[in-house]
Structures are given as structure tokens and as C-alpha cells.
Amino acid sequence: EVQLVESGGGLVQPGGSLRLSCAASGFTFSSYWMSWVRQAPGKGLEWVANIKQDGSEKYYVDSVKGRFTISRDNAKNSLYLQMNSLRAEDTAVYYCARGGGSYLYWGQGTLVTVSS
Amino acid sequence: SYELTQPPSVSVSPGQTARITCSGDALPKQYAYWYQQKPGQAPVLVIYKDSERPSGIPERFSGSSSGTTVTLTISGVQAEDEADYYCQSADSSGTSVVFGGGTKLTVL
């Protein structure tokens, strides 16, 4: 059974940093692109970033370029999102999803709240 | 930046057919995907590659494509289909993933 479990969310002040993790199991992690998708409270889905199987290609939505970094550790079956210079508008549930451009499997999400 | 446009809301009575459209300039070149999301839950893929249905998704869900518009059709709508529906695709370069703004389906 495919499982994606996010962790690392919480309350952070504007300008602060947070690192999200996603633990994957039930499939060969190193064979798949992986992505982060977020959803602000009461709003729609927004793709954040994705990463190729070997980490050699990474893409980001314009609003997070230069602030967020996606990475992965295939030995640990884990996906990460380092978030720096956080803003109020980054407040959202962050989902880890398997795939680069379509998402059959999603985690349950982790809430990031940016507020003073 | 590239955008996908969906109607904010669609309402239908049980047993009727619901159609949700999604428009975008790159849709003739890029596949579209549809997700169903119920409150407090993660999204569920209901249509992939414009018209394919994942295992376990009821046959009443179907997808179609025509030019710059893709359509999710739900035939014989049931109360349990009430949810938010999102289309998703990529820009013409294929490097940016885009979601539509979402459509709230209300079953009257």
C-alpha cells in the first residue's frame, strides 16, 4: 500500500524558516518524480514544486522561487521542502504527492501557519 | 503565468448530468487531469490523460477534450459526488504544473 506521510508543519513567524518532510512507503521511491502541492485555508490547490527521480531537475512556482528548495533522499525514501523567508501568504496545508505532473497518491497534508 | 479557468460552481439535482469545464491555451498540447476533493480530505484523482479513469473510480465519471477546453462529466449524479473539483495540467513547456481554481459541485 502506497503511503505518504508529511511532517514538520507548525506555526512560524514571518521571515522564518521551516523544513517539511514526507516519508514514502509501499512503492519504489527512487522511480518516481515527487511533488509538493499546497492549499491555503478555504482556497484552491496550488502546485509548489517537483523533483525528478535523481534530483537532477527541480521546478518551482514563481511565488516560491529563491525561497523554497525541494530535495529528496532516495536512501531514506524521503522528500523534503525547505521553506525560508516565509510570508503570511505561504500559510496552507502542504501535501506531498507522488508524480511530477499528475497525482494518484497524496499524503494527508501538514499545516503551515505563518503569523506573528 | 499560465492559467486554467473553471466555473466557480455547478448545481445539479440527483440523477442528472453535471458538466464541469476547464479552459486553457495549452490544453491542446498537454493532458488534463481531474481531482475530487471533499472537506478535510486530500484530493482524489478521478480522470487522467483527459479521459482515462483510474481503478476504483465509478463509471459515471468521464472526461473529454475539445481544443482549449476539457470537460469532466458526471452522469447520474449522486449525493456523494458533492465536492470541489479541480482540473490540472501543465504549461506549454511542460515544466510548470497548474491547477484550475476549482468548481464546487452542489447536489440539490
Dihedral sign for Cα A13, A19, A24, A29, please: positive
Whether chain A has a CB inside 8 Å of the CB on B37: the answer is yes
Closest partner residue to A47 among B48, B54, B99, by Cβ?
Answer: B99
Rounded mean pLDDT, B64-73: 97
A34 neighbourhood in chain B, CB within 8 Å: none
- Identify the pLDDT of residue A60: 98
Residue contacts between A and B (CB atoms, under 8 Å)? 52
B34 band by pLDDT with thresholds 50, 70 and 90: very high
CB contact under 8 A, B97 and A106: no
Give pLDDT, residue A39: 98
**Is residue A103 within 8 Å of A109, Cβ to Cβ?**
no
Chain A CB contacts of B42 below 8 Å: 95, 106-109
Cα-Cα-Cα-Cα dihedral of B54, B38, A65, B97, to 10°?
A: 30
Within an 8 Å CB–CB cutoff, is residue A46 touching chain B? yes
Residues of chain A with pLDDT below 50 are: none
pLDDT at residue B29 in the model: 96
Written as nine digits, the cell of B3 is 492559467
Residues B48 and B56: their CA atoms lie apart, in Å, by 13
Residue B45 is classified by DSSP as E
3-state secondary structure string across chain A = CCEEEEECCEEECCCCCEEEEEEEECCCHHHCCEEEEEECCCCCEEEEEEECCCCCCEEECHHHCCCEEEEEECCCCEEEEEECCCCHHHCEEEEEEECCCCCCEECCCEEEEECC
Given this model, what pLDDT does residue B4 score?
Answer: 98
Contact A103/B35, CB-based, under 8 Å?
Answer: yes
Quick one: what percent of chain B has pLDDT higher than 90?
99
Query: What pLDDT band is residue B48 in, cutting at 50, 70 and 90?
Result: very high
A5, A102, A111, best to mutate vs chain B, most B CBs in 10 Å: A102
Which pLDDT does position B18 carry in this prediction? 98
Shortest Cα distance, chain B CAs vs residue A105, angstroms: 8
- pLDDT 10s digits, B78-98: 999 999 999 999 999 999 999
Nearest alpha carbon to residue A35 among A105, A107, A98, A112: A98
